Amino acid sequence: MNKRFLSIALVCGLLFAAIGAYVGMQGIQVQPPQNGAVQKLMNLTLTDSLGAPQKLSQWQGKILVVNFWATWCAPCVQEMPELSALQKELGKNNVQLLGLGIDSPSNIKDFAKKYAITYPLFSAGMEGTEISRLLGNQAGGLPFTLLISTDGNIIKTYLGRLKMDELRADISKITGAP
């Protein structure tokens, strides 16, 4: 039973990784978010990497970089050290990164213990997949990242591995800081 579950999980993980890689290489455009999608996101209460429930609304009023990711997604994991550095660098400018893992709470917890991530990580499970679709990620690819202004408007979406210079430039346009 346990081997069967692991096999199914591995196949699903490889499938999602392949979809994400394909989407990233094809440059598929993200669709416009559905009405009220950001508010649905901000109304979520998710389990953080320590196992505690957290309301995402506590970060309303900040410039948000919301990154949908998974522990089995290689591009997601590869960009996390850069995102951690970005949080350290820009946190003083009212910028907050949030990592929403399309994964189980136990996997998120284990991942957080293994890597020194400087921003909050949450387990969004399959609900995270649906929310990312509402936010414009119709392809379901990962990583999927949103830049949200202080007033809750989506400034830009990014599908696939982030280009940090582009993200920094987009954030600078909002903050006015170099």
What DSSP character marks residue 138? Answer: T
Query: Domain-by-domain residue ranges, the chain?
Result: 2-175
Angstrom distance (rounded) from CA 80 to CA 14: 20
What's the pLDDT tens digit per position in 105-142?
Answer: 999 999 999 998 999 999 999 999 999 999 999 999 99
2-175 has which CATH code?
A: 3.40.30.10
pLDDT in tens, the chain (178 residues): 566 655 565 555 555 555 555 545 445 556 555 568 999 999 999 999 999 999 999 999 999 999 999 999 999 999 999 999 999 999 999 999 999 999 999 999 999 999 989 999 999 999 999 999 999 999 999 999 999 999 999 999 999 999 999 999 999 999 987 7
12 tagged catalytic: no
Among the listed residues 76, 97, 102, 167, the single catalytic one is 76
Given 56, 65, 66, 73, which residue is catalytic? Answer: 73
Q: Is 76 a catalytic residue?
A: yes
Closest of 9, 139, 124 to residue 67, by C-alpha: 124
20, 73 Cβ separation under 8 angstroms: yes
